[in-house]
Amino acid sequence: MSKTTKKKTTKRKTSKKKWARVDGRKPDELRPVHIESGVIPNADGSAYIEMGRNKIIAGVYGPREMHPKRFSKPNMGVLRCRYHMAPFSVDPRRSPAPSRRDQEISMVMTDAIEPALFLERYPRSVIDVFVEIIEADGGTRCASINAAAVALADAGIPMKDLVSSCAAGKYEGNLILDLGDYEDKKGESDVPVAYLPKNDQVTLLQMEGIMTQEETEKCIELAIEGCKQIYELQKEALKKKYGMVEDAEVTEEAPEEEEPVEEAEEE
């Protein structure tokens, strides 16, 4: 099955003489992204993201008292992210116990999001971000960061900016944006990036594969462009929820002036 499809792609490539992605996207085109905020009633903030066939839900609890206490810091809060994949999110089934990969991703996710928060405001407390991968389709760590950022904003936690994340990579010699599962596995390399648009800073950067220095730098730039597109979608998702609240409460005054996304821009 897979062999025949491969043959077809090579044929198409030679006949049209134009390279195309597995799913027909342009090299710099994102997969369809859908973000919704406020999806878990019990959580202080939450978000759901679909990025391609990734289905990911993120919930925020806190700031709240840290348990176990010895992990708390006397002068600042602690951000604790947990990235976890459901057993049925991948094929074949995976164990629900956190793998070494999960633990590493949890760490780099925390590093990616922390620069956006004012943790010095929450001594001895913790902000817990739980991310569950319901279905995985390549680029889950980026999608998780996107969902986590929206969930934190939904929880009303002041942020310097939203964190937006997207990967770029190299597949069949071409630099492409937002790798799908197939491109991720068969491609030459993968560069996940998270970005704070207002500060113009990269907060997550990983890479795996073989690329020249120049290609790598181009990939990072491409990924940043993807992050900027996602940033707009994240804002949309928040506006959709809070825009409706504003409409209901404030009737005649122009309801769209306040953007809850940009709470606490400056200290």
Partner 1 sequence: MSNNIVSRLKRKKIVDVVATGKRMDGRELLQYRDWEIKTNFIAKSEGSAEVKLGKTHVVVGVKIGIGHPFEDTPDAGVMMVNAEYTPVAHPTWEPGPPPKDAIELARVVDRGLRAAEIIDMDKLGLVSGVKVQMIFVDLYVLNYDGNLIDACSAGALAALTTAEAPKFKVSKKGEIEKTDKTEKLKLRAHPLAVTVCKIGDSLIVDPTYDEEEVKDGRITITVDENGNLNAIQKRGPVGFTLDEIKKCINIASEKAAEIRALVLAGE
Burial tier of 210 (Cβ tally within 10 Å: 0-12, 13-18, 19+): exposed
Mutual angle of helices 140-154 and 100-113, in 10-degree steps: 50
Under the binding rule (CB under 8 A), the answer on residue 265 touching partner 1 is no
Under the binding rule (CB under 8 A), the answer on residue 103 touching partner 1 is yes
End-to-end distance of the chain based on CA atoms, in angstroms? 58
Alpha-carbon distance of 169 to 123, in angstroms, equals 39
What the block records as the tokens of 188 is 């030459």
Question: Which of the ranges 7-15, 69-77, 140-148, 258-266 carries the binding residues for partner 1, by CB under 8 A?
Answer: 69-77
In the complex with partner 1, the residue whose CB is nearer, 40 or 175, is 175
Count the neighbouring beta carbons within 10 Å of the beta carbon of residue 266.
Answer: 4
Residue 144 beta carbon to partner 1: minimum distance, rounded to whole angstroms? 16
Burial tier of 234 (Cβ tally within 10 Å: 0-12, 13-18, 19+): buried
Under the binding rule (CB under 8 A), the answer on residue 4 touching partner 1 is no
Q: Which residues, 6 or more positions from 103, have their beta carbon under 8 angstroms from its beta carbon?
A: none
Under the binding rule (CB under 8 A), the answer on residue 95 touching partner 1 is no
Residue 222 beta carbon to partner 1: minimum distance, rounded to whole angstroms? 12
In the complex with partner 1, the residue whose CB is nearer, 113 or 238, is 113
Question: Which of the ranges 13-21, 28-36, 102-110, 240-248 carries the binding residues for partner 1, by CB under 8 A?
Answer: 102-110
Query: Among residues 22, 30, 76, 86, which is the contact residue for partner 1, using CB under 8 A?
Result: 76
Which residue(s) pair with 35 in the sheet?
49
Within residues 123-162, the interface with partner 1 by CB under 8 A covers: none
Under the binding rule (CB under 8 A), the answer on residue 104 touching partner 1 is yes
Query: Among residues 20, 205, 229, 260, which is the contact residue for partner 1, using CB under 8 A?
Result: 205
Would you mind telling me the total number of residues written for the chain in this entry?
Answer: 267
In the complex with partner 1, the residue whose CB is nearer, 42 or 75, is 75
Under the binding rule (CB under 8 A), the answer on residue 201 touching partner 1 is yes
**How many residues make contact with partner 1 (CB under 8 A)?**
38
Residue 220 beta carbon to partner 1: minimum distance, rounded to whole angstroms? 6
Under the binding rule (CB under 8 A), the answer on residue 189 touching partner 1 is yes
Under the binding rule (CB under 8 A), the answer on residue 200 touching partner 1 is yes
**Are residues 171 and 179 in contact, defined by beta-carbon separation less than 8 angstroms?**
yes
Burial tier of 126 (Cβ tally within 10 Å: 0-12, 13-18, 19+): buried
Q: How many CA atoms lie less than 13 Å away from 63 in the CB half-sphere?
A: 17
Q: Which residues would be at the binding site for partner 1 (CB under 8 A)?
A: 73-76, 92, 100-101, 103-104, 107-108, 110-111, 114-115, 189, 191, 196, 199-213, 216-217, 220-221, 224
